[in-house]
Amino acid sequence: MELHYISAEHLSIARVREIVEKHLHLALSDDARRRIVRCREYLDRKMENPERPIYGITTGFGSLCNISVGRDDLAALQKNLVMSHACGIGERVPAVVVRLILLLKIQSLAYGHSGVQLATVERLIDFFNNDILPVIYQQGSLGASGDLAPLAHMSLPLLGLGEVEYKGEVRDAAGVLSEMGWQPIELQSKEGLALLNGTQFMSAYGVWSLIEARKLSDWADAIGALSLEAFDGRIEPFCEEVHAVRPHKGQIATARNFRRLLEGSEMIVRPKQHVQDPYSFRCIPQVHGASKDTIDYVEQILTTEINSATDNPTVFPDEDMVVSAGNFHGQPIALAMDFLAVAVAELANISERRIYKLISGTRGLPSFLVAKPGLNSGFMIPQYAAASIVSQSKGLCMPASVDSIPSSQGQEDHVSMGSNAATKLYRVVDNTRRVLAVELFNAAQAFEFRRPLRTSPVLEGLLAAYRQHVPFIEDDTVMYPHIESSVEFLRHETAC
């Protein structure tokens, strides 16, 4: 089994994708082990003769920060924190996101600024490597004092509490720990706070959505190119000279990609009867390109976040400092995830307009893309479905990060709502995949009416691969299985 060593070195989004998709196992590097042990030993020494109260270590939490806790109760304080904060509600977090939460929490703790025991981090690694996934719920975090409620659910199984999903079943964590021969972790001072403070819930959703958004951006180009061919569109709006005089990086990249995708097409070079195309075709470089630029920007923000220590207090052994500050606040990524949701939703928004044009009965295509419209409704209702999904995504794109509801008796008086930004973003990504799948369904159908002309070798390859899963529709049939097959095609295949 290939290992990924957790260290203080840079963790890229590409590497995160590789770890998750290839199911790599984790191990701590020697440097990470030293950092964790050194920080814990420093904190233990600090606790022997504390000069003053230390937030969350010798005091209560939130607005209870002025209440001191005796040394004999410090372990109970941390356990109580985990239990009382496990207030997650709603749907379960998908397994792939739970794996990312574990990975990112391990990475953050490994920097040696959190004061956790080595055994605690190693147990999280055991969970990851054995696919023992804590049951976590989507609702409950304000995205400010870290993702308190969801990370409490992540932490319960360390203590033999809560539930995990293991081998396809949801089971009591205590039973799985016993089966593995593991004893529950006895939390030491600061550890509960280190586990619960942090942005790993929203970061995990953000990272996975970012990975999927980049895939969908590639698919939007490939499917848009096929739609352009099926609609008998023009190549001139994609020429290099146009974009050189408005040189946005994503715009240039999109136009270049379309020239590649359409190279060698018989369809694109044939004489056109129309002078220009609608915006949903003509402005693809500008719209898809803006989404590409947003994806690149958000990757920078999330890369910084996942390579950071985000709990509180932050421990600096070399400087003899324990600082209570605000690295758990999700504002930097909340704003970015709201922005990414808009960018991804726009890929669906313009896609739905292309779907509408393909079924409109213009440019030599039959109404609703069937040879005998009237008797057949054909592709009338897939466009309805796409429009419905696009409308939902527009509602989901209201920024979560503009809201704040004070908590903890006003001590935590500005929150990011980054967890809501993250879960909404995840839904927008899923929605966009579905709309693009409907466009592919339509574009593949429409191009068959252009035969015997051929599109480019690249797009002919896409059509051939797609036809292994979804047939040409001759007469009305039950459509939803074909739409679902199209969605799965986008989920599991790579764009050309």
* Nearest in space to 364 (alpha carbons), one of 457, 270, 259: 270
CA distance 11 to 389: 34
Q: Is 55 one of the annotated active-site residues of the chain?
A: yes
Q: Residue 84: which residues within 8 A CB-CB, separation 6 or more?
A: none
Task: Please identify which of the residues 55, 166, 426, 466 carries the catalytic annotation.
Answer: 55
DSSP string, 480-492: HHHHHHHHHHHHH
d(Cα 184, Cα 430) in Å, to the nearest integer? 37
Spatial separation of the C-alpha atoms in residues 360 and 375, rounded to whole Å = 17
CA gap 304, 172 in Å, rounded: 35
Q: Is the dihedral of CA 315, 321, 325, 326 positive or negative?
A: negative
Give residues with Cβ within 8 angstroms of 67, minimum separation 6.
59, 60
Buried b (16+ CB within 10 A) or exposed e, 49-87: eeeeebbbbbbbbeeeeeeebeeeebeebbbbbbeebbe
What DSSP letter does each residue of 290-341 carry, written as one string? HHHHHHHHHHHHHHHHHTS---SSEEETTTTEEE---TT--HHHHHHHHHHH
- Identify the sign of the CA torsion 16, 18, 19, 21: positive
> What six digits make up the tokens of 342?
């808009």
Going by C-alpha positions, the residue among 144, 422, 433 that lies closest to residue 302 is 422
| Residues labelled as active-site residues | 55
